[in-house]
Structure 1
Amino acid sequence: MTALWTRTAAVTAAALAATACGAAATAAVDTDGATAIDATLITQVAPDGLKVAAVAIEYDRELKFGQSGLDAAAFDVDVDLGEGGIAPLVGERTVTAAYTSATPEITGEQRAGRYVILELDQTEATATASYVDWSTTITHYYDLSGGYTVAQVGDIGKRNHIVAAQPDNVVTSSDVDNLLIDDYAVGSLATTAGPVLDYRYFTPEGTAEKDGYPLVVSLHGFGESGSNNFSQLAGNQISTVFASDERQKADPAYVLSPQADPFDATKGAWWAPQMQAAVIELVEDFVASHPDVDTSRIYLTGLSMGSYGSWAILQEHSDLFAGAVVVCGGGVQDVEAAAAELADFPIWAVHSEDDFVVDYYADGSDFRVFEALESAGTPVVWSEWSGLLPDAEQEVLAKAAAKEAKHAGSEHIFTTIEAGTTPVFSHLSWIPTYSSDVILDWLFAQDADR
């Protein structure tokens, strides 16, 4: 009798256990029932241009998966941009990290929320958000709306909190968030010099020093020309590096970035005198309307075409600025006169020795100006390194140059990027320049009242 009861009880217990396991297995398939409903692209300005850095997938309810990230392989991301355009871009994107978030932004940390953030590999060719029209050498930007599709092709979550794969639910991107760029305000100034100068400006949020915030004025290169009031921020980091969280934490500052248009007869390139006059008028107008600008710490930086404008502006208005960083520069009409005018003005210049767009050795190049400075008896610090070295190694060499300049009492540092070592191609010496915290630290250390 006892044996029979024991057997019956065991069978009953096994049946209950099997039922419980079956229920658990069923629950593990899809307890949340969440469905992907939308996607937002997140762009970021990289050293070599605008990239789609992430996709934020929105679900129809909050996802709670704990703190461990999701399986990146559970998502497929495809690109189809510029159909019928000059440079169609079609392919796949590689997901490098996936995590939930309460907001559609890159945080790197998983938190409960309606969004799944997919960080993407920015080194792959399909990461770009732009293309160059080589007939004009102008950079153009894809219309990203609707250009990406995303599908959850694998289960995500763990234990009894799992959202089952939904490979047939293909979501098309409907919006774009441009990191940093969207934080810039839009402006336009009808100058007495003639041009109507469109510009963007960034306002700092940090605590200003007692004399106010510094102001950085950036002059873009030819490729960022146009009338969209966007390219001067998106083309490279000449402007956005100064607005980045890291730089603003160290040096909260205004950033002012106008746009030139060489194809507009009412405007022109930065080497046009009326555009140089317009820049000065813009700076003066901006300072007048922002009384918290520290007028002893206004800085100028320009690359390529922007360096042409910078050299011309500095020769006429160096008293307006405290220091300058010029990159792959040229166009100086009289290097001896420039050397005499700028003998006491702090300049750090960077140029690739094999630059085939703005010749390093050409008459009127920044190299020739520094030669003239040294010939006139002005102390110059010469430095040279590979642009392909890791950033940390480049910064060690930059620190050595800055230290030597301080010891020698020199206001002038010239850095040569060794031939064959400039990232992407030889004209892009701005990549190692604006990636260097040491060069930016040096710039912010300049003060016209010291």
Structure 2
Amino acid sequence: MPVPWTRTAAVTTAAIAVTACGAAASASPAHEASASVVDATVITEVAPSGLKVTAIAVEYDRVLKLGGTGVDVDAFDVEVDLGAGGIAPLVGERTVTAAYTSDTPDITGKQRAGRYVILELDEDDAAATASYVDWSTTITHYYDLAGGYTVAQVGDIVSPRVTVDAQPGNVVANSDVENLLIDEYASGTLATEAGPVLDYRYYTPEKSGEKKGKKYPLVVSLHGFGESGSNNFSQLAGNQISTVFASDERQLTDPAYVLSPQADPFDGTKGAWWAPQMQEAVIDLVEDFIASHPDVDTSRVYLTGLSMGSYGSWAILGEHSDLFAGAVVVCGGGVADVEAAAAELADFPIWAVHSEDDFVVDYYADGSDFRVFEAFEAAGTPVVWTEWSGLLADDTQEALAKAAVKEARHSGSEHLFTTIESGTTPIFSHLSWIPTYSNDVILDWLFDQDQDR
């Protein structure tokens, strides 16, 4: 039986009647048809540590008009039950941190009349993740989120204007998933001259209102081994190496194209980024993309890679540095001849970040980015060395990075190396990309590089 949704009637006339005893009769509240939950949409975002479910949009069968009154976060229960072959299912409760009505199934933080109640969820919940790792391959996989979340309105939604009664027996599973930012990337596939057929995703900057002839930088990102595969998704969802450049905040200051191909080490026709044919395929892709997007600013093409992607970045820069204006490499290695790399890239701007206790890509190994920067300095190329804790507050890390940029300008250095102190990398020691792509100053430095300057 439908649960009634009532609105208190406004008294629009003078007193209706007065009894002989002098008591006034009050008007009865008006009743409207019930408002029921009919569907839900799970909303994901790429957090520094990977893809998380950060909200759920609860859809009603009619518009809710609560005025400025917010929604009690305790009025909803959100449950997770996700399964994946060969691993334990992810089951748990989600913590609602904010709730408000909306006319679209989007995270806005603002209350407005609409058919949706947006429930923002705690990113630190154990069940917040949307991915899991197959440790036999170290590849990250993603849960099928469709139908994996259920939501029920277990408490009344009360405002001076309207009350939506609880409907705890009406438990609804989500029928849809919205991947914020990721869904804004287009997909492509290129049969490269180098041989591999390369899948890629790309983000196009907002151009409305821009003057005719405006040029846009291009950021090329090379993911790590864990994001390998053939889904053309993981290179965006695994961490922020790509999406940080497409975020609203970054695009506001530095509107740019973002190009993110995916490698597949388990496909003999492709390979990892350290495979020469895949490095040449990346160059083919970049050149093809520039040719098909004449508004790319060819003096401001940037390269960034982490872990396996940094191996590829070093190799690509050794042969094709003239195509790029600057690079950020994270936990890098695999450089066959550090002295030759130091000579080739003496004038090429590079900022490298590596955790000193990285147990996956050894900080001190032959061919590591640290060894390349040692070779820079040995050859007389100035280097700005910095070291800080990856657990410091973001604004503190950015202040330290800003000091490094100032020192680099003073010394005329194009090469900055940041060590993340042992024991201070978030989650575990290989993930030095978390403090890297969370640091706006490092990204600002990259966008300041320009071959025409």
TM above 0.5: yes
On the 8 A contact 1:87/1:131 being kept in 2, the answer is no
State the Cα deviation string for residues 340-369 of structure 1 (Å, max 9, x = none): 000000000000010000000000000000
SS in 1 for 2:57: strand
Deviation at 1:160, TM superposition (A): 4.1
2:96 corresponding residue in structure 1: 95
On the 8 A contact 2:84/2:143 being kept in 1, the answer is no
On the 8 A contact 2:69/2:159 being kept in 1, the answer is no
More moved, 210-219 vs 87-96: 210-219
- Aligned letter for 2:410? H
2:11 corresponding residue in structure 1: none
On the 8 A contact 2:213/2:295 being kept in 1, the answer is no
Matches of 1:430 and 1:32 in 2, distance apart?
52
Report 1:7-406 matches (<5 A).
9-10=20-21, 13=23, 16-17=25-26, 20=27, 23-24=28-29, 31=32, 33-82=34-83, 84-206=85-207, 207=210, 212-406=215-409
On the 8 A contact 2:82/2:91 being kept in 1, the answer is yes
Matches of 1:417 and 1:227 in 2, distance apart?
32
Matches of 1:255 and 1:226 in 2, distance apart?
19
State the Cα deviation string for residues 292-348 of structure 1 (Å, max 9, x = none): 000000000000000000000000000000000000000000000000000000000
Deviation at 1:84, TM superposition (A): 4.8
- Aligned letter for 2:23? A
Deviation at 1:87, TM superposition (A): 3.6
Matched residue count:
434
Unaligned runs of 5+ in 2: 1-17
SS in 2 for 1:103: coil
Matches of 1:273 and 1:177 in 2, distance apart?
36
SS in 2 for 1:423: coil
Deviation at 1:125, TM superposition (A): 1.4
What is the aligned-residue RMSD (CA, Å)?
1.4
State the Cα deviation string for residues 189-241 of structure 1 (Å, max 9, x = none): 00111100000000001447966100000000000000000000000000000
Query: Whose helix proportion is higher, 1 or 2?
Result: 1
Deviation at 1:157, TM superposition (A): 2.8
SS in 1 for 2:334: coil
Deviation at 1:68, TM superposition (A): 2.8
2:5 corresponding residue in structure 1: none
State the Cα deviation string for residues 81-136 of structure 1 (Å, max 9, x = none): 01554241000000000000000000000000000000000011100000000000
SS in 1 for 2:332: coil
Matches of 1:277 and 1:364 in 2, distance apart?
21
SS in 2 for 1:40: strand
SS in 2 for 1:104: coil
- Aligned letter for 1:60? D
On the 8 A contact 2:67/2:161 being kept in 1, the answer is no
SS in 2 for 1:167: coil
Q: Runs of 4 or more off by more than 6 Å in structure 1?
A: none
2:444 corresponding residue in structure 1: 441
SS in 2 for 1:91: strand
2:9 corresponding residue in structure 1: none
- Aligned letter for 2:301? I
Deviation at 1:274, TM superposition (A): 0.2
1:412 corresponding residue in structure 2: 415
On the 8 A contact 1:31/1:161 being kept in 2, the answer is no
Unaligned runs of 5+ in 1: 1-6
Matches of 2:353 and 2:70 in 1, distance apart?
42
State the Cα deviation string for residues 223-266 of structure 1 (Å, max 9, x = none): 00000000000000000000000000000000000000000000
Matches of 1:331 and 1:98 in 2, distance apart?
48
Matches of 1:399 and 1:209 in 2, distance apart?
34
Q: 1:255 to 1:8 in 2, by over 3 A?
A: closer
- Aligned letter for 1:167? P
Matches of 1:269 and 1:432 in 2, distance apart?
25
SS in 2 for 1:125: coil
Matches of 1:338 and 1:87 in 2, distance apart?
46
Deviation at 1:67, TM superposition (A): 1.9
Matches of 1:85 and 1:163 in 2, distance apart?
42
Deviation at 1:33, TM superposition (A): 1.7
On the 8 A contact 1:156/1:162 being kept in 2, the answer is yes
Q: With the length of structure 1 as denominator, give the TM-score of the two structures.
A: 0.94
Matches of 1:32 and 1:95 in 2, distance apart?
28
Q: 1:209 to 1:277 in 2, by over 3 A?
A: farther
On the 8 A contact 1:208/1:252 being kept in 2, the answer is no
On the 8 A contact 2:77/2:151 being kept in 1, the answer is yes
- Aligned letter for 2:72? D
Deviation at 1:8, TM superposition (A): 6.6
Matches of 1:449 and 1:300 in 2, distance apart?
17
Percent pairwise identity: 80
